[in-house]
Amino acid sequence: MGTVASDIIKESGEECYLIALEGNKQAIVEGMASFESGGPGDLVVLPNREALNKMNGRTFAAVVIPKELEKEAPRFPDKTAVFVSTAVELSHALLKQKLFTHDYSKVGWKKVHASAVIHNSVKIPASTTVGPGAVIEKGVVIGKNCRIMANSVIEHNAVIGSNVQIHPGVIIGWDCEIGDECSILSNSVIGGDGFGFSQDQHFNHHRIPQTGNVVIGKKVTVGAVNTIDRGTYGSTIVGEGCIMGSLCHIGHNVTLGKNCIMTGGFLCGGSCTLGDRVVASGGAMLKDHLNICSDVYLLHRAGVVHDITKPGVYAGSPVLPMPKYVKSNAIYAQLDEMRQKLRELTGQKSLSSNLSGSSGSQY
């Protein structure tokens, strides 16, 4: 059974940035799809005029268009509901969260699977589900409406907030804390030992026990196969609202500010401190013991080896401010031509001429 368009704007309009509903207010929305693949029962988002022009006569139950295209509403068929948004990409995210996200509670068994191993000191709220093979150790605290999925492990005295999703194979280490509304994707390890060793005169390695923890703030998403190491003595901290892609590593004693974005393959050495809204594109790497101020963007597999104290866009390895990076790349592409011109100006033969005219061994 679908949802009536008028009910969507009545119940979710303001929070989903919808300011008007035109066309067929009684249209029934049965699903949500991209505008390239959507069909007659779907709600689709048309973010710009280019998308609007690619409809090619196809019809949908409802569309979301940006406010600047509101005058185009009459071009849609009479049976289509037309939502007008002041922030179309936000409307996309929030509508899908509210109406069409996956329901992880529909697992097919009772709230706690019979194969789960749960210490008798742990209270599982009635609204929380625990999947097959999950292990929950002594002293763990779990909030309401959580989804603890198959084969995940929550070690002793960890604290899990409410509305948390812990996907299959996740390990939450002892004493670690996960804030409300977090999502920890499959096979991530939160609170493994940090990389702390000392070497003796024979270069044998001696482990420094890592006795801190990891504290993750509210509304954090940790991607699949991430590792966030516990602190040596204090906490490794992930600030509220941070999101991470897959295959990221956060070393021990790191502090991430609020609303940072770390995309796939991000590597952060231990004891770094990052401000708020730091954005790292795929493959970016930070040397240990660095300080990165707020509002920094790291692009093009950035390799950071020194502190960054001014907000802005940085790229390359080692990183440069973006204008210098672009200029350096342009110069680099012309190095061979510049070398030849320099040789001509100084009267030297080209390297290729020297080699072709030489005799004896080549190198």
Contact 229, 195 (CB under 8 A): yes
Rg over CA atoms, the chain? 27
- Give the Cα separation of 297 and 151 in Å (integer): 36
What are the C-alpha distances in Å from 24 to residues 5, 33, 73, 195, 199?
A: 8, 19, 11, 60, 73
Active site residue 252: yes
Sign of the CA dihedral with 90 first, then 92, 93, and 94 last = positive
Query: What's the start-to-end Cα distance of the chain, in Å?
Result: 76
Nearest one of 20, 23, 66 to 46, comparing CA atoms: 66
Contact 229, 250 (CB under 8 A): yes
- Give the Cα separation of 222 and 183 in Å (integer): 6
Contact 300, 283 (CB under 8 A): no
- Give the Cα separation of 129 and 40 in Å (integer): 35
Contact 345, 329 (CB under 8 A): no
**Of 156, 206, 252, 300, catalytic:** 252
User: Using the 8-state DSSP alphabet, how is residue 152 labeled?
Assistant: -
- The set of catalytic residues is 252
